[in-house]
Amino acid sequence: MPRFTRAELESFRGAEVPDLVGPGVRLVFVGINPGLRTAATQIHFGNPANRFRPALVAAGLLDPPVDGVPGMTEADLATLLARGVGITNLVPFATARADELTRAQLVAGRDRLERFVAEHRPRVVAVLGVTAYRTAFARPHAVPGRQPGPIGSAELWVVPNPSGLNAHESVASLAAAYAEPARAAGVALSAPPDMLAP
């Protein structure tokens, strides 16, 4: 796993990471925006401290890492694509923290996501973070779970953000939340249901 100095990571501020999307995509997870390490590696959720990969393993969307090393890999991304799972972001460019984004940038992210859905036509879209969702979609009282209205042709869900800053969520609770839109999208899960209890 590559190591970066703080200065090297800062050099990736504003860099973009291409969307992970393939033909026949069923489910798209929507991050807020890439972190600096993700931009540096060009691997979504590439920071080994992020809990997205462990939650996907616990949800049955990925296999446990063979080498035990945390963090997403290119092989993980290929597995997700093969299973009909994609990843995009509300805001495409990297910052050190999501709270550096402005309200206007998040609102523009909704338009970006609507264009993405129109082009790729996933069955389900799951936004990773209720606070960013409330701002981007002008729904200040939204709660996690399936939302009352779709986004374009896709069912819309809001699920917890996997960042370690979201301390009241565990890997188990994240896994349970991520498994719900996966099932709604018709993505097969390899973990038995009792593994998904928070």
CATH number at residue 83: 3.40.470.10
Per-residue pLDDT band at 1 (split at 50, 70, 90)? low
In a domain, 151, yes or no: yes
pLDDT tens, position by position, 59-107: 999 988 777 667 788 999 999 999 999 999 999 999 988 889 999 999 9
Question: Hey, what are 125's tokens?
Answer: 């879209």
Give 23-46 pLDDT, tens digit per residue.
999 999 999 999 888 888 899 998
Residues paired with 82 in a beta bridge: none
Domain presence at residue 195: no
Please identify which residue in the block is written with the tokens 């009241």.
168
**Domains held by the chain: number:** 1
Domain ranges, residue 79: 6-185
**β 145-146/85-89 pair status:** unpaired
> What global pTM score does this model have?
0.91
Between helix 52-59 and helix 171-185 the angle, nearest 10°, is 60
Residue 70: inside a domain: yes
Whether residue 197 lies inside any domain: the answer is no
Is 1 a domain residue?
no
Residue 159's DSSP bridge partners are 128
